[in-house]
Structure 1
Amino acid sequence: MSQLTELLKQKLLIIAVAESCTGGNLSVLLTEESGSSDYFDRGFITYSDQAKIELLGVKRSTLDAYGAVSEQTALEMVEGVIQNSNANIGVSITGISGPTGGTKNKPVGTVCFGFCILGECTTIRKYFDGERQQVMQKSVGFVVDTLKGLL
């Protein structure tokens, strides 16, 4: 984690995040160090569909067509993070941590991520096995590793 925070500080980058299935765990990790206000702007915990709509501007039509756990929703979430913060790095996480909520097409452990870095946005869909806490931890770890690689 310290590698990521050092990269953010060195490059004078500001990050903001939107979390659903991780419930704030990424925000906690990003703010554990003293001085985190140098690189962390804010975190949105948008667990419900209504929170995604109200706080991030996710379209109801996107949720209806693709579901909360989709790359389309992850993209709209991360775009909302950038629009509603002072950050130039945005991350969104939406998924199914379990043990319930999975379907054949989206089993427990399906997680979609959105990344916006200096105006360039992309999404990634991953599957993580394990229990609820493991899926959450692996999701946060994936974000940290991905950001280190992209920065």
Structure 2
Amino acid sequence: MTNWPERNLLEEAAALLAALQARGLTLATAESCTGGLVSAALTAIPGSSATVLAGYVVYSNDAKQRMLGVPASLIATHGAVSEPVARAMADGALADSGAGLSVSITGIAGPGGATADKPVGLVHFAAARRGGPTLARHHVFPGDRDAVRGASLAEALRLLAEAGEVTS
């Protein structure tokens, strides 16, 4: 991974942080397949500590349960890569961090881990806002592991902007 994250994503992260700061919103991230890339992009921006309160890297199911309060039954029923788990991760990050906004990412970056129902590149996202609805979406991104993770970072920034009702 050269020049990671890409310069345009860092510019997007900076614009998002400025808009969130102007609105007085704080945020937390809950990341699985991105392994902290969203937090890394956000905290690469000087002054990000005014907005970014916490970042959770919850790669294992146990970490999702212990750190974010994702019910084991939810993972057993839907799998770790699912909309219900993404929503629970975002809600857990919001509750634990005290932030006003959170984003979660859970997916299959590859090259392994895929099933017939859940291909490589499938990523579920959720964004929760205190006092507002939790937004969720999913994508199947093409490409290798780096491409899936990079596309996931970009989508997480877009979803944060949407949930925070800002333009970045």
* TM-score of the superposed pair, with normalisation by structure 2: 0.87
Shift of 1:147: 2.5
Asked if the contact 2:103–2:160 (Cα under 8 Å) also holds between the matched residues in 1, the reply is: no
Query: 1:96 aligned to 94, 98, 108, which one?
Result: 108
> What amino acid does structure 2 have at the position aligned with 1:98?
G
> What amino acid does structure 1 have at the position aligned with 2:140?
Y
In structure 1, the partner of 2:143 is 130
CA distance in 1 between counterparts of 2:78 and 2:158 reads: 27
> What amino acid does structure 2 have at the position aligned with 1:129?
P
Shift of 1:122: 2.1
SS class of match (2:109): coil
Name the % identity.
Answer: 39
Matched, 1:145 2:158: yes
Distance 1:23 1:121, change over 3 A: same
Please say which of residues 118-127 and 46-55 is displaced more in the overlay: 118-127
Equivalent residue runs for 1:47-86 within 5 Å: 47-86=59-98
In structure 2, the partner of 1:22 is 34
> What amino acid does structure 2 have at the position aligned with 1:69?
V
> What amino acid does structure 2 have at the position aligned with 1:79?
D
How many aligned residue pairs are there? 151
SS class of match (1:84): helix
Asked if the contact 2:105–2:125 (Cα under 8 Å) also holds between the matched residues in 1, the reply is: yes
Matched, 1:35 2:51: no
